[in-house]
Amino acid sequence: MTERDTGFGLSGIGQVALTTRNLDGAVKFYRDVLGLKFLFQAPPGMAFFDCGNLRLMIGLPDRPELDHPSSILYFTTGDIHAAYATLKDRGVKFEVAPHMVHRTEKMELWLADFRDMDGNLHALMSEIAVA
């Protein structure tokens, strides 16, 4: 059965989870370096951040199969070059500098890849209007 058949369909993501081996270090990285709004910590080893319409949960692995880097997070920014410079000044190690990956008549999509302290790959993402 499809969504049309049942009237049911998922339409959004409420939370993304990432694994860390160092919760205190991850809180410092995501809160103090990236500047995400810290919400709270909860036992047995989880920290939550507000990312607009999405909540990010950073947690210690609770079983061996979860003990590895995971999802790529794309952090949106209005000015990818300024965000790149600011985060480099804060010690973020970028794998790829800001670069255009797609262009339409109305917009350019720019990305810049970096890793957090656990090796999780992330990126800055900016959609720039074409004049």
User: Cα separation of 1 and 48, whole Å?
Assistant: 35
Structural domain boundaries enclosing 78: 3-129
**How many residues belong to the chain?**
131
Considering its fold, how many domains does the chain have in total?
A: 1
Distances (CA, A) of 47 to 6, 34, 105: 36, 15, 41
81-126: per-residue pLDDT in tens?
999 999 999 999 999 999 999 999 999 999 999 999 888 889 999 9
Burial class (CB in 10 A: 0-12, 13-18, 19+), 126: buried
For residue 11, the model assigns a pLDDT of 74
**Overall average pLDDT of the 28-50 stretch:** 95
CATH assignment at residue 27: 3.10.180.10
Identify whether the C-beta of residue 55 lies closer than 8 Å to the C-beta of residue 15: yes
The answer, yes or no, to whether residue 24 has pLDDT greater than 90, is: yes
pTM: 0.72
